[in-house]
Amino acid sequence: MILYLVRHAEPQIAEYSGFPGPQLGTIGKKQAIAIANFLKNRPIQQIIASDYTRVLETIEPYQILAQKPLYNLPELRERENEIETHEELVTRVQTWFRLFLTNNRYNTVIVSHCGPINMILWELDYDQTILNYPFECKYLCLTPKAGIWELQIDNQILISGRLIMECC
């Protein structure tokens, strides 16, 4: 299975809280189109995304172009500091991801936020010895906004992968 992890594009405003969050800004809309163009020739069979506005707007150009099924999951939401602890985020995302790996063999795009993408990467590469991590920000994100990881998974095991796109 090939798994693409996409972090949402640049939101309209930098500071925000709560669901459903802000829309994409001008830069984010351009990044969403760049993501769509990048993914359009990849062998993708399904799209799974957080249900936050900026995530859905990030993947919308690709979803329209590719006409692939889109599944919105609250399990892929970012952590709400006032509502959920870091440990609860880890449990939520990694529990979902383990079930996903057990029950899924389709090439998939997962579109989410910094925290859930980190949790998926840590589930696959706990001691960070398989992948090279060329990006990290002050929030410890391993993926830039509008960044894309391409991961090769066999029998629920990460074989290889790389950050294949750091958007404009």
pLDDT digits (tens, 9 = 90+) for 60-92: 999 999 999 899 999 999 987 778 999 999 999
**Spatial contact of 9 and 167, defined as CB atoms under 8 Å apart:** yes
Copy the structure tokens of residue 104.
């899924």
Residue 13 backbone zone (phi > 0: left; psi -120 to 50: alpha; other: beta): beta
- CB-neighbour burial class of residue 146 (10 A; exposed 0-12, middle 13-18, buried 19+): buried
In this predicted structure, what is the pLDDT of residue 83? 87
pTM metric for this prediction = 0.95
Rounded to whole angstroms, the Cα distance separating 159 from 155 reads 9
Listed by start position, the domains of the chain span: 2-165
Give the pLDDT mean for 127-155: 93
Percent of the chain at pLDDT > 90 equals 85
Phi, psi at residue 113, to the nearest 5°?
-120, 170
**CATH level 3 topology of 2-165:** Rossmann fold (3.40.50)
